[in-house]
Amino acid sequence: MTTASTRDHAQERTDYTRLFRLDGRRAVVIGAGSGIGRETALALAAHGAAVVCADRDLDTAAATAAAIGGDAYRLDLLDRAAVRAAPAELGDVDVLVFTPATNVRRRLADYSDAEYDLIADLNLRASFDLLRAFGRPMAARGRGSIIGFTSIRAVTVEPGQGIYSAMKAGMVALLRTAAAELGPQSVRVNAIAPGVVETPMTTEIQSDTVRYAAYAAKNALGRWARPHELTGAAVYLASDAASYVTASVLTVDGGWTAIDGRYEPPE
């Protein structure tokens, strides 16, 4: 016996060759001036999206925009008024990706109030501001995909990164809550959790050959990621391939969290 539901599914025809295409969608990538943000902007554009490259450094944003025929937009996430104003200035946004973060490596007892405030403001409060600012118009239109970059430090800690870890864990909770609240309006909200990536934020560690090698050895692939290796996750979450994916944390860490703390016994 064929039910109405069965007939509806039978009549659906998905063009799998276009599952990851983003044609006709407008994406805003915050942090597009460098690193993961830049590569994500390039990848979304390559899949058909019209991309606005946003960054606090307008020159670097403009350089990325020039490479893809997109628009550049100056946005400092520490400027709350600017974040609130951005959706009205940018118009309808189908995909929002934000990557900026900062870190100060200190033992908990050694952090200054100013250092704590800086990490909290950019890594957590700015996420809250973006969710409010862009989530509302997306919900009103009944569509949208929001993708925030968190970190494996949200679930596995390291001495000297306590505040960063706490804010990234809080960011995951915010994103998942937004997914629950915006889901009825067909707005999806997800997180991407990288492991160690060769970006400007990790320049200090990369310059220390001993530390660089130690971090590389912590994951299954035995190496650091390059920024472009995070872009597939962003394209996926932005596209119809992830139409039923929300409130998820997509870990892209080379297997770090699966084998964290491994011990290789001698032969």
The secondary structure of the chain in percent helix, strand, coil, rounded to multiples of 5, reads: 50, 15, 35
Query: Catalytic residue at 164?
Result: yes
Q: Contact 33/57 with Cβ under 8 angstroms? A: yes
Which ranges in the chain belong to alpha helices (H)? 4-11, 35-46, 58-68, 80-90, 113-120, 126-141, 162-182, 203-206, 209-216, 231-238, 256-259
Sign of the dihedral through C-alpha 94, 174, 147, 116: positive
Residue 23 has a CB neighbour count (10 Å cut-off) of: 9
Alpha helices (runs of H) in 25-125, residue ranges in sequence order:
35-46, 58-68, 80-90, 113-120
Whether 161 and 221 have beta carbons less than 8 Å apart is answered as no
CA–CA separation, 224 vs 195, rounded Å?
8
User: Which one from 164, 215, 244, 263 is the annotated catalytic residue?
Assistant: 164
Catalytic residues: 164
